[in-house]
């Protein structure tokens, strides 16, 4: 779960990538 733990000073792009990664990760679990 290190992907979810990002510094608050992370750039919007990294945050967006994190959202995409977590989204796919959760999707995989739900699948």
Residues 23/31, Cβ–Cβ less than 8 Å? no
Q: In whole angstroms, what is the distance from residue 13 CA to residue 27 CA?
A: 21
Q: DSSP letter at 8? A: T
For residue 3, the model assigns a pLDDT of 55
Q: In whole angstroms, what is the distance from residue 28 CA to residue 3 CA?
A: 15
Mean pLDDT of all residues belonging to the chain: 59
For residue 16, the model assigns a pLDDT of 59
Output the pTM of the full model. 0.23
């Amino acid at each position: 779960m290190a992907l979810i733990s990002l510094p608050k000073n992370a750039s919007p792009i990294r945050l967006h990538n994190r959202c995409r990664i977590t989204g796919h990760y959760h999707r995989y679990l739900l699948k």
